Each structure stands twice: as structure tokens, then as C-alpha cells.
Amino acid sequence: MKLRGFRIELGEIEGALGLAPGVREGAVIVREDRPGDRRLVAYLSVDDGAAPTDEDLRATLRRTLPDYMLPSAWVTLPRLPLTPSGKIDRRARRGDRL
């Protein structure tokens, strides 16, 4: 997909996010809260007792990804919503859910 003129691979961002210390699982979507204002938002669940900060996550991703592929917002959830087949439910976009 393209975002602000750059080719973005959500799976590549999610893979790097999954390698961050304390992150159990993560998903990245492009949100458009205001018309024309599209941005990357990362949703993640963390291991028990882990509390990675936005700065920690950004620093980890910055090691392998260019700046334009870094999410601008981070949302920590107890667990990511799943479809009945066990995949991440990317359509469950209400409030703090994806």
C-alpha cells in the first residue's frame, strides 16, 4: 500500500514489532480519523509484567525500518480481537479495538 507517497508493508512492520522485547503480538493498520489524514497505528498486547514505552518500541523498530514506516500511535490492549478462525480481526474497529 502507499502512504504519503511511500510504499508501506504492514506485514514487515508487524514482524519487526513482534521482535520487540515484551511484545506478545502486534498488528498495524492505516487509520483515517479525519478525511485526508491517514496514519499508521500499532495495536499490541504485551507479556505479563512488560511495559514497553513508545520510545522503546520506536527505537526497536527504527533499527530495521525507515522512519516513514514507524507508527505514529501505539495502542496497548489486553489481547488483540480475533475472528472465529483465530486470525486478527482487523474489522473490529470500535473504540480501543482494532
Interval 5-64: pLDDT, tens? 899 999 999 999 999 999 999 999 998 888 988 999 999 999 888 888 999 999 999 999
The whole-model pTM stands at 0.83
Q: Are 38 and 50 in contact (CB under 8 A)?
A: no
Please indicate, yes or no, if residue 10 is contained in any of the structural domains.
yes
Please indicate, yes or no, if residue 93 is contained in any of the structural domains.
no
CATH number at residue 44: 3.30.300.30
Predicted pLDDT of residue 98: 54
* Residue 19 belongs to domain spanning: 2-76
Please indicate, yes or no, if residue 94 is contained in any of the structural domains.
no
Backbone dihedral angles phi then psi of residue 47, each to the nearest 5 degrees:
-65, 155
